[in-house]
Amino acid sequence: MWSLETLGRERLSRHFWMREFLYSEIGNIHEIANIPDDPDRALERGRAFATQLLDPLEETFGRVFVRSGYRSTRLNAFGNDNRLNCARNDYPLECHIWDLPERPVAGASIVLPWFADRYARGRDWRDLAWWLHDHLDYSEIWFFPKLCAFNLAWRPDPLRRIDSYIAPRGALLRAGAEPSEERAARQARYADFPPFRGIAHP
């Protein structure tokens, strides 16, 4: 039987623990516990997400700020019902509920402070989007105007799609499509980014 304290101390990857993903302002304000229905399933998917997508970001750009991580089905439904920026539980691209048996996914809304500082000075969000596309085996990415936060999702069979609420709004890359920019043009956008450091640790 899991206790919340024990669950929070479970390590997902080299840099991340489950506790970072359980915090929820919505849950705290409305007194809704953000606890997985199936902790083992949530941990399994969370480990894949953190290891494959978040660790390389932390090792390349420094601190990754988790703005919104795991959500229980009850918490997410409450957020959707009350227009608190939560998608429906049954929405196919909802990535915050990690333990639904029928939908293998794990994701979070994150901010990269390294890029957020540059975005605040006018840097194009698409520079980061194409870096992510060229370096990570992501499933979906959705960009948001504040701090250039983005939802980043892992799935065992990635969709490889990128969308944005930042101008130009809409789909930058549809699932299964080829990028609109040639690789050399994409690389030129992020030529000043730190060298990729997706380190394989023993």
pLDDT in tens, 126-182: 999 999 999 999 999 999 999 999 999 999 999 999 999 999 999 999 999 999 999
pLDDT tens by residue, 71-108: 999 999 999 999 999 999 999 999 999 999 999 999 99
pLDDT of residue 199 exceeding 90, the answer is no
pTM score, whole prediction = 0.94
> Residues 89, 105: contact at Cβ < 8 Å?
no
Q: Provide the pLDDT for residue 3.
A: 82
Segment 50-69 shows an average pLDDT of 97
* CA 186 to each of CA 129, 131, 153: distance values in angstroms, whole numbers, following the listed order: 9, 8, 21
Residue 200: band (very low, low, confident or very high) from pLDDT cuts 50, 70, 90: low
Residue 46: band (very low, low, confident or very high) from pLDDT cuts 50, 70, 90: very high
pLDDT of residue 14 exceeding 60, the answer is yes
**Extents of the domains making up the chain:** 9-189
> Residues 46, 97: contact at Cβ < 8 Å?
no
pLDDT of residue 198 exceeding 80, the answer is no
Q: Provide the pLDDT for residue 197.
A: 85
> Residues 126, 189: contact at Cβ < 8 Å?
yes
Whether cis (ω within 30° of 0) applies to the bond prior to 202 is no
- Residue 34 class from Cβ within 10 Å (0-12 exposed, 13-18 middle, 19+ buried)? buried
